[in-house]
Structure 1
Amino acid sequence: MTTDLRVLRASEWDDWYAAFELAFGGVAQEAEARELDRALTEPARCVGVWDGDQCVGTAGAYTFRLSVPGGALVPAAGVSVVSVATTHRRRGILTAMMRRQLDDVRAWGEPVALLTASEPAIYGRFGYGAATQQLSAEIDTSRVRLAVSAGTDDVRLRSAEPAGARDVCEAVYARNVTGRPGMLARRPHWERLPLLDPESGRGGASPLRCVLAERGGGNGEAEGTGDVVGYVRFQVKPEWDTAGPNGAVLLRDLEALDPAAYAALWRFLFDIDLTSRIRARNRPVDDAWQHLVSDIRRCDVRLRDSLYVRLVEVGAALEARAYQAPVDVVLEVTDSFCPWNGGRWRLTGDAKGGASCKRTDQAADLALSVRELGEAYLGGVGLAALAAAGRVRELRPGALAEASVAFGAGVAPWLPHGF
């Protein structure tokens, strides 16, 4: 039995997408979500594997710009919709799609590929490393108090219809993108993703709500005349027990331009009537609310892997980001899946003067694979920690400390939404 791997034709999208849905359990997407996925699909950047007229493998790559340490936005391929039919496992279909896809990404001139893994064990063999984590929490607001920063009372809050406030929220989001590695500059249609709110997916919670934080426009002026400096989108799930109301606030997303606006939005969430907890499912590891609460133990904080990064062109990728401290090291890189990355690279750079990463014949200072470089790329995973796990080898004394500090970032990298 032979299969045909080819670029997706627009006319094949329904069959291709149905194959993906089947591989992920066979539950069809809601009409609104399916329509958005169709709008986001770039057929020329997708492949399918066909056995006769049946689609048995899918993979796509969105066009992204990824924020990296130093604030640059780097062209990146957002790998998604990856599946292989259960009937066609262990035939090399996934490997063939990954091979074709990374060759294409290289030809497109995009030095980095990204994905979120449904099963983390799959993608390490293709050179992807877990570069960011996401924090989840369930905050007991009946017992935990919030200490807000100075100026919080100067921020005005107002409710807004989520779709109607989309543009002002996107403007706040866009201003924050370059300040935190791992965030994605949203291209057309992606602004619709945070607003998806199918009734079937609410699980008893309210429709999506939005509150804006504004500064200025006071002294009797009409609502909405100030500058929007933050927003929160959330739902409320009413619940009752024998003691009374015990509802939950389900935090969807929250962005703010300054500490006072940030604190005002969190205080609002703490004060919602008839609720006793806030559930947050995807926040940065260093999210500042953790330093405003009175009792972090009653917040049930948990971490999990999030964004996986793969350097497709080692030199271009390492040159695209800044370094927290001066660095001058020679890296001995192994990459069995993309052999053009293998060999020695001399990396020099700092926080302001840019970076250079060129091939060299000089003796290596550190030895590692492209997977470790992917994990360290956004500054969230330390090279020293990887060395302690035996995954990075120091060949010149002092090189590990130098490089580990330089690869760091001032804030934790974070992927705000999936793809």
Structure 2
Amino acid sequence: MTSRTAVDVRPITESEFADWQRALNVGFLREPGLDQDILDARRAQFTPGRSLGAFDAGRCVATFRSFAQELTVVGGATVPADAVTNVTVTATHRRRGLLTRMMAQDLTAAKERGDVVATLIAAEYPIYGRYGFGPATSATEWTVDVPRAGLDPRWAGPEDGGRIDLVDAEDVRKLGPELHERLRRGQPGAVSRDELWWRITTGAVRFHPTFHEPYYVVYRAADGRVEGMAAYTADDNWGDAKQPLNTARVKWLTGVTPAAERALWHFLCSIDWVVKVRSGWRAPDDLLPHFLPDPRAAAVTTHADWMWVRILDVVRALEARTYGAAGELVLEVTDRAGLAGGRFRLGASADGAGVCAPAAGSADLTLDVAELAALWLGDESAVRLAALGRVREERAGAARQADALLRTSRRPWCPDVF
């Protein structure tokens, strides 16, 4: 067995990209090789210094990539984030500390760049807490039983003066970015999408040998402005009695108003031959079930943690967001990696603004940086974490006060997987 020190962990060069991609595919249990055109397309994501590999005797045996991202926080401000993805370790090299070494390199570089947080979508729950990440958002998927939903089967369009139109991929690339910007500016947990994201999602850049183009639909309000957009697919499934049993699967749906969301969901439930609609990953408090006369027709298919956050700068993170009440709290933040620990005084004013600075004196709450991340976007409860032994009250009532400051009326949501 090769010793840990003999495995070289470093940024890859462009000439090593094919070997790195092969290791990535192996780690994700995909077919190892790639056609040259697919490999060339994936090079569009290569940024010098942001793709790390572990090399044993010249062969890539672990992968790690990060890229620049903006994350929306409570109140609508954005912070620079280090988005982590493409993390694998080949089965032959497990338990040798390779992920720990790659993560340390990346997070150190991110802090030096001035990133406020790091983000990722965790394939496995137990891995990332030990690196200071905490689950900051969750996501829910519903399956709508269309015949049970109680919608008028004669529905032919929105009743609010708006309209639904099918569009093509080129229209999505033109209209989608501005619509997503409007959504993410008001949605804590949402992240930025660059031009490459839109080209990949519409098939202009193809990362897979087969790309099945979805249907694209937009909702225009009565004044003609695009307020919503969705991409969906449908299967071709018929029962023995020649009855349609088709399912529409939503790849993504963006609505910047409740009217837009309602119109898009009602459209999807009105498509001839469709008896079920799979919602795709939505916010856990999404309005979808309550757009239906019978909310029970929307059954939860999956609910799970989604985007994880790792705070790199406590002061900037806490000052970036707004708060639900006035108050003051002293936090003792532990961080085994030494990137963001310390004692901090958070003060929130009646207008929602927060001020944070290093503090002396006694703390009100003691918590790990991963637990602070779980609380930061407003989804988790300090009272719950205290009951679980993951937050320690140093002053009676401090956890309840933290909830009054930090929790939000609507839950954070990240519409993207990365």
| TM-score normalised by structure 1 residue count | 0.91
Per the alignment, do residues 198 and 85 of structure 1 end up closer, same or farther by CA in structure 2, a change over 3 Å counting?
A: closer
- Return the offset for 1:289: 1.5
What is the one-letter code of the residue matched to 1:209? Y
Aligned to 1:18: 22
- Return the offset for 1:267: 1.0
Per the alignment, do residues 109 and 198 of structure 1 end up closer, same or farther by CA in structure 2, a change over 3 Å counting?
A: closer
Aligned to 1:208: 214
- Return the offset for 1:160: 0.6
What is the one-letter code of the residue matched to 1:51? D
CA deviation profile, 1:346-393 (whole Å, cap 9, x unmatched): 111247453222111121001111110111111111212211212111
Alpha-carbon distance in structure 2 between the residues aligned to 1:102 and 1:185: 20
CA RMSD of aligned residues (A): 2.3
Aligned to 1:100: 105
Contact 1:41 1:62 in 2 (8 A): no
Aligned to 1:191: 198
- Return the offset for 1:126: 0.8
Q: Secondary structure at the match of 1:212?
A: strand
Q: Secondary structure at the match of 2:292?
A: coil
Per the alignment, do residues 201 and 139 of structure 1 end up closer, same or farther by CA in structure 2, a change over 3 Å counting?
A: farther
Contact 2:329 2:347 in 1 (8 A): yes
Q: Secondary structure at the match of 2:264?
A: helix
Aligned to 2:12: 8
Contact 1:234 1:252 in 2 (8 A): yes
Aligned to 1:228: 226
Output aligned runs, 1:16-415, within 5 Å. 16-28=20-32, 35-146=40-151, 152-196=159-203, 207-216=213-222, 226-243=224-241, 244-301=243-300, 302-337=302-337, 339-350=338-349, 352=351, 354-415=353-414
Identity among equivalent positions (%) equals: 35
Aligned to 1:221: none
CA deviation profile, 1:297-338 (whole Å, cap 9, x unmatched): 33221311110111112222222211122231000111112x
Contiguous gaps of at least 5 residues in structure 1: 218-225
Q: Secondary structure at the match of 1:341?
A: coil
Alpha-carbon distance in structure 1 between the residues aligned to 2:41 and 2:178: 21
What is the one-letter code of the residue matched to 1:25? L
Mean alpha-carbon deviation: is it higher for 138-147 or for 378-387? 138-147
Contact 2:325 2:350 in 1 (8 A): yes
Contact 2:326 2:352 in 1 (8 A): no
Alpha-carbon distance in structure 1 between the residues aligned to 2:15 and 2:255: 42
CA deviation profile, 1:140-171 (whole Å, cap 9, x unmatched): 001112499xx743111111112333221221
What is the one-letter code of the residue matched to 1:409? T
- Return the offset for 1:281: 2.3
CA deviation profile, 1:256-281 (whole Å, cap 9, x unmatched): 22222221111111100011010122
CA deviation profile, 1:198-227 (whole Å, cap 9, x unmatched): 89768xxx730111111346xxxxxxxx32
Mean alpha-carbon deviation: is it higher for 367-376 or for 298-307? 298-307
Alpha-carbon distance in structure 2 between the residues aligned to 1:263 and 1:132: 23
What is the one-letter code of the residue matched to 1:379? G
Per the alignment, do residues 25 and 134 of structure 1 end up closer, same or farther by CA in structure 2, a change over 3 Å counting?
A: same
CA deviation profile, 1:232-290 (whole Å, cap 9, x unmatched): 11111121113411111111111122222221111111100011010122011111112
What is the one-letter code of the residue matched to 2:276? R
CA deviation profile, 1:65-101 (whole Å, cap 9, x unmatched): 0011010110000001111121112221111111111
Contact 1:327 1:403 in 2 (8 A): no
Per the alignment, do residues 264 and 32 of structure 1 end up closer, same or farther by CA in structure 2, a change over 3 Å counting?
A: farther
Contact 1:238 1:275 in 2 (8 A): no
Q: Secondary structure at the match of 1:329?
A: strand
| TM-score normalised by structure 2 residue count | 0.91
What is the one-letter code of the residue matched to 2:102? M
Q: Secondary structure at the match of 1:281?
A: coil
Q: Secondary structure at the match of 2:356?
A: strand
Contact 1:324 1:407 in 2 (8 A): yes
Per the alignment, do residues 351 and 16 of structure 1 end up closer, same or farther by CA in structure 2, a change over 3 Å counting?
A: farther
- Return the offset for 1:36: 5.0
Alpha-carbon distance in structure 2 between the residues aligned to 1:199 and 1:24: 14
